[in-house]
Chains A and B, each alone.
Chain A
Amino acid sequence: LAKTTQPISMDSYEGQEVNITCSHNNIATNDYITWYQQFPSQGPRFIIQGYKTKVTNEVASLFIPADRKSSTLSLPRVSLSDTAVYYCLVGDLRGDSSYKLIFGSGTRLLVRP
C-alpha cells in the first residue's frame, strides 16, 4: 500500500492560491491519486483525481510530476468556505477486491479573512 505524507496544517487568506503537496514515494504503476475534502461531521467529498501530468476541473488542479512520487493539489482563489481537511489517497480501485482505501493524516487548511 502506498503511504502518503502531507503537511499537518496550512494557513491562507481569502483570494490566495493554495498548493498542498502530498508525497507517495512507493506509488504503484496502476495507482491513481485522489484528493478528498472533508468538513466537520461530514463524509469526505471527492475533489479531483489523476494519474499523471496535470488534471483540472471546476474547483481545483492536480499536478503530478513524471516520477509520480508526489502530487500537488492547487486551489485557486480560496474562500472561507474552503476551510477543511484535505486528504490525498493513492490506489487502484478498478478491480482488486483486496484493495483498501486508507487515509493518511490529511492537511487541515484554514482560510482567514
Chain B
Amino acid sequence: GAVVSQHPSWVICKSGTSVKIECRSLDFQATTMFWYRQFPKQSLMLMATSNEGSKATYEQGVEKDKFLINHASLTLSTLTVTSAHPEDSSFYICSATNPGLGTEAFFGQGTRLTVV
C-alpha cells in the first residue's frame, strides 16, 4: 500500500527556535496533504490542508505565520513551527491523498515535538 513517511519521529528544541517537519509520500503522488496536531488523550485536530503548488488553507484559530506549510512537490510537504514555545509541544501528524488511489487517506507515523 501507499506509504507516507514523516521525519523526524521526535524532536526536542529550545524555546524561540524553529523546527521543520517533513512529510513524504514514498510511492505515490500526494495531490493533497493534511497536517494535524494531537494533544495527549485527544483527537487529531486539523491544522491545515495543502494542495501541491497552492497555498495552504488553515483552519480557524491556526496561525499561518507560526505554522508555515509548504507543499512544493507532489511527494513532499513541510511544516515549520516558527519561534516554538512550550505550548507548541504536541504530536504532529500528516496525511496524504490522491483521488486516483481511491478514497483512502494515508498517514505518517507522526512527529513528537517537545519545546523546552
Contacts and interface: CB of A to CB of B under 8 A. Distances in A.
- A, B in one complex: yes
Given A41-B91, A100-B34, A87 B105 contact: no
A49 interface: yes
A94 B103 CA distance: 6
A95 to B, nearest CB: 5
Interface stretch (A13-21, A59-67, A70-78, A101-109): A101-109
A28 interface: no
Interface residues of B, number: 28
A44 interface: yes
Contacts, number: 66
Nearest to A45: B107
A105 B103 CA distance: 21
Interface residues of A, number: 26
A102 B46 contact: yes
B91 A93 contact: no
B43 A95 contact: no
B99 A93 contact: yes
Contact of A103 (B46, B102, B106): B46
A42 interface: yes
Contacts of A93: 32, 97, 99, 102-105
B104 A101 contact: no
Interface of A: 32, 34, 36, 41-46, 49, 87, 91-95, 97-106
26 contacts: A36-B107, A41-B91, A41-B110, A41-B112, A42-B109, A43-B6, A43-B109, A43-B110, A44-B44, A44-B93, A44-B107, A46-B106, A49-B104, A91-B103, A93-B97, A93-B104, A93-B105, A94-B99, A100-B34, A100-B49, A101-B46, A101-B97, A101-B105, A103-B43, A103-B44, A104-B43
Given A91-B103, A93-B32, A93-B103, 5 more contacts: A41-B110, A87-B44, A94-B99, A95-B99, A103-B44
